[in-house]
Structure 1
């Protein structure tokens, strides 16, 4: 494998982040989302959103690279209180120090090479440096691959679920939570 790394995203990464998002969703989420939702994904619209996030925050965006290729990205930041709330919508005691991993995607052809783990570890390090103590993420219930990835990182479902409207079809998500002090273990 060529040199693999993770670094903060720059404005010139925006087109590649948007391409990765659309391609990965259309490939990896094909069984989870309706075809018209996937067909309606727009790289230009995604690029505008990512440009704004990279320039203004409040989330941090990281990209994974292998050699000259951008192969994945992660976006995370402080969790809105509504995202970390208990199942009955009451704020949790540590709400002010909970991070939300909003997106963690690796292009499928670059999968199973450690890029997701490097992204999560680097993101966790940055979030800890910002004073956050634990992370949460929402994962489609039927996405066993992504759920398995987070479980291998030590994250577990916390019992909270939600159902989103995905183009007229319900998409049930489970919330996972775990420590931000992640260390990579080489097999």
Structure 2
């Protein structure tokens, strides 16, 4: 929740981000204890005993993706004061390793089109745009929308695994 204002503050109207940490924690607890797919994972980056970031991986859900071959990096979030310390790189590598262990051969992720820092971080790590884009309606009324581009990368070879 500490990272959300920096990540989404320019995209959402004031007061749109959740403020009740207990409610957010309960929603996450429910999602993690009853995942829709056994390949839904949450990875956590720690600095000693403090959570400094997390990543979420799952089968890709886009209609043009293959849920057997394509995994998705759904979230990659770091606490703002923990950026630049290597946590993001380690967390991204752990997420890719997890997707490979789940037998995916390609990973996709969606990035806000104006988020140059995240896009550069991912492209420097070998990800590239795949020409897919979308516009999300965040408030259901069309007044708060966000444009995203999809990035992808090859992560494994299925040869010899099947």
TM value normalised by structure 2: 0.84
Q: How many residues align?
A: 150
Aligned-CA RMSD value:
1.7
- Contact 1:32–1:142 at 8 Å: present in 2 too? no
Q: Which runs of 4+ in 1 moved over 3 A?
A: none
1:35-86 deviation line (CA, Å, top 9, x unaligned): 2323x4542332122112322223100000112211000011111242xx1x
Structure 1: gaps spanning 5 or more residues = 1-21, 86-91, 182-187
Alignment correspondent of 1:54: 32
Aligned to 1:88: none
Structure 2 unaligned segments of length 5 or more: list them: 157-162
Determine which structure has greater relative contact order: mean sequence separation of CA pairs < 8 Å that are 6+ residues apart, divided by chain length: 1
Instruction: Confirm or deny: 8 A CA contact 2:59 2:67 kept in the other structure.
Output: no
Q: Name the CA distance, whole Å, in 2 between partners of 1:37 and 1:48.
A: 19
Q: 1:180 aligns with which of 132, 155, 158?
A: 155
Higher share in helix? 1
Compared CA separation, residues 163 and 41, structure 1 to 2 (3 A):
farther
Distance 2:154 2:83 in 1: 23
TM-score, with structure 1 as normaliser: 0.74
- Partner of residue 67, structure 1: 48
